[in-house]
Amino acid sequence: MTADEHENEHRTEPGFVVVTTTHETEDLARTLASEAVRERLAACAQVYPVRSVYWWEGEVQDAGEWRIDLKTRAGLADRLGAFLTERHAYETPEVIAVPVVAGSPGYLAWVTAETAAP
């Protein structure tokens, strides 16, 4: 196996993901983030203001929102996505998972430990 094949082999099954969603207020975003971490579906979450521009109901919308980035194991992505969708007020919430292709070993070990069943 060549070095490129070996590298690609490890990238096909990411061990970790960042799951992103948004919410309309900081309080709702912080509550959702806290609930996901409390349930150990994510090790941590960052909540920060963003400006979203998007099509909705035939018009371009421009709105302030609060973005939540949740760090978790790839094996929890579907459960975390369902958890976020069930508790979300939006009709069609953004819930996407982006693979982590690299990270510090200590941090990734911490994510693993914090998302394990207590």
In three-state form (DSSP H/G/I as H, E/B as E, the rest C), the secondary structure along the chain is: CCHHHHHHHHHCCCCEEEEEEEECCHHHHHHHHHHHHHCCCCCEEEEEEEEEEEEECCEEEEEEEEEEEEEEEHHHHHHHHHHHHHCCCCCCCCCEEEECCCCCHHHHHHHHHHCCCC
Domains of the chain in sequence order: 3-114 (3.30.70.120)
pLDDT for 27: 97
User: What pLDDT score was predicted for residue 6?
Assistant: 42
Q: Does the pLDDT of residue 117 top 90, yes or no?
A: no
- pLDDT single digits (tens) 29-86: 999 999 999 999 999 999 999 999 999 999 999 999 999 999 999 999 999 999 999 9
7: pLDDT strictly greater than 70: no
Query: Has residue 107 got a pLDDT over 60?
Result: yes
Residue 2 pLDDT greater than 60, yes or no: no
Closest of 98, 107, 115 to residue 20, by C-alpha: 98
The model's pTM is 0.84
Q: What is the model's pLDDT at position 14?
A: 67
One-letter amino acid identity for 79? Answer: R
With bands split at pLDDT 50, 70 and 90, how would you rate the model's confidence at 12? very low
Mean pLDDT of the chain: 89
